[in-house]
Structure 1
Amino acid sequence: MTSIIRKSCIFIRSYPWVNGISILHNVKESMPEITRFISNTNMYQSKDENSKVGTSALEIYGFAQVKSKKKESFIEVLRMYESRDKYRRGHVEFIYSAMQHMQDFGVHKDLDAYKKLLDVLPKGKFIPSNRMQAEFMHYPKQQQCAIDVLCQMEDNGVIPDWEMEDQLLNIFGKWGYPLRKFWRMMYWMPKFKNASPWPLPQVLPNDPLELAKLAIDRITSVDVRRKITVFQSEDLPDSIDKTWIVSSISPDQKILLEKHPPNTPIYVEGPFRVWLKDCPLNYFILRGDRIEKPQPKPTDDDDVSNIDLPIWKSPSSKALTVDETVHEQEDGTIFSVCATGTSSRDSLLSWVRCLQEENSALANIPVLFTLKSPLGEVALSESDSIKDVKKIEVESNSKEE
């Protein structure tokens, strides 16, 4: 009789649309001697109790409660979870929780941390036994979790190694979707690793001055003869902001500055933003209006009264033209680029004064400080004059003539 009841319980669990409560109620009334067996079954367990099994690990090993945010603490939390729960209950939720806190611990770009995270998944349990199971994504929740880990590695520029291939092979088998994702990453990521013409160090410096040097060097790399100079505003009299200034100017830009008409103003514009990996930095430019060069007179090719015969002309009769430099763009001429420690107007005034020491023509050119920039308004200071500069104007409405 007990075997009949067991089979009934298995049938009800397999087909939840059957009214199992009414069936068991009739059985209990007809055979009261087996009431103890029915009362001990866990088929009436609530959803809240089932959810506690999966979230218990998250409550005990919460990453938010860890005070020391470092790599050793992150690895220790993973180790405690593996040693406490041998069945690895709630391992998918645990991995997603760990992925959300990796940046807080500073391990979002650490390969060893990702390999330790994949070790949380049980080995051998999710390997499909045939190709049909493999194509239908055997254990899809666990496979998608591993794919998300690999996607986060790809977003942070972390290239996996062949040891991770062995891990995925032991977890999901040779037909698993995470292993296919791994193979695509190993094909493409090493190709794009050194594709940038402006390589940066693997670990960026924390000093803002060194970051500014890297940024200005990247921006001005179009001219190989540019010279990057670091000025200190405290070396100048009457300077308010005591900060550093990283400036770049080339010989061609100095020549363009000398040829600039004295009655035509030039502009200090910015800040503009450049990204060095995940570190943003603001920079400013010294720009002048584009000067149109005289165009040759139009000629009528059908006019036979003035036939051009090159063999009868001397070489000196030909007019010479000078090609435009790379600094002469369609929207204006770039004379110099800089980045300051405070990005304030007083630091920009100090920058112009430092450039004036090496370029005397700048003393005769009006300088306009525009407040318009893609990032908002430029921080203003109380100083409104520059020594040895002929004219300083402030364009408050950001409208260029």
Structure 2
Amino acid sequence: MEGLPVDDASAGGLLSWPQAGGVLFLRARDGWPLHQRAWPGLVCEQSFKPEADALQRSGLVLAADDDDDERRYPLVLVLPPRQRDEARALFARALARCAPGGRVVACMSNNEGAKSGETDLARIAGPVASLSKHKCRVFWTAPLQGAADAGLAAQWRALDAPRPILDGRFVSRPGVFAWDRIDAASKLLAEHLPADLSGHAADLGAGYGFLAAELLARCPGITALDLYEAEARALELARHNLAGAGARVALGFHWHDVTAGLPQRFDVIVSNPPFHAQGRADRPDIGRRFIAAAASALRPGGRLWLVANRHLPYEAELDARFAHVRTVAQQHGFKVVEAVAARSAGESHEKRVKPGNR
């Protein structure tokens, strides 16, 4: 585990790997350090589907959905997220999963809040040691007998609890995309959804469910809706937020990596694709793979309604995979696009039409 000062004591590591009791790795990510040698007793937990799939492909043990949250480990490893409330909740949870006399070890990139993370862990766990390497900071507690500040730990643990937002219309939680607001791009797409969309629909990258809820409210012809979301913490919220619609339409909720393709066919797909992975750099390849997945999953004549930042280069992918493509709106740095799947194998592609040229 690059950056984490954990190894066999005989190998010169600053901390020794437990001989019994197992090790819990919260927000684990696959990488070469996990393959340098065997890590006996390692259990990985990851709520982001692409990372969870990568861990599983590497043969690493993933915590089950019904994992006993009361089990304690002599060592808990953590890769905290950038969002501070979410990270604080994760630190508090790590402490709660740590056995008496155990340690919590965390690692963060310097440009993603490592110094703040170290300060936060020390606030609830007591003094920590640290080491900087590879533009990251790793920090770890002394042997613990619970949280140094139990009250603060309880407060921080509650930071991850779903809570009402937008005057109670939805519930959300820190760390989910646009967690405490309506994302401007999704709002723009919702405002342009035509009322005649009908049939079996899908929302790719559904988040906490805003766009799916708007699709159902604006398009009475939708008879079934499947939500695909890679972040399990967001999907749980979407399930809650759309519970009231289940009496009118058939709903499906899927913890799924859309870039791997879709398992069924649809009449309508809506999407505000992510264009970052777990870093800050633009990843337009993710959006292009969302477009490819949508094109393969649409029935003949099916319609994709997509929103994206105007600078993202999706046009070539759209033109290559759809028979008709038009830019419906460009506003506030975003673009809304409708793309229609071919009705037959021989249907030709139509020249892109922009607003004002139709």
TM-score, normalised to structure 1, is: 0.28
TM-score, normalised to structure 2, is: 0.30
Larger Rg: 1
Using CA pairs below 8 Å that are at least 6 residues apart, which structure has the higher relative contact order? 1
Greater strand proportion: 2
Greater helix proportion: 1
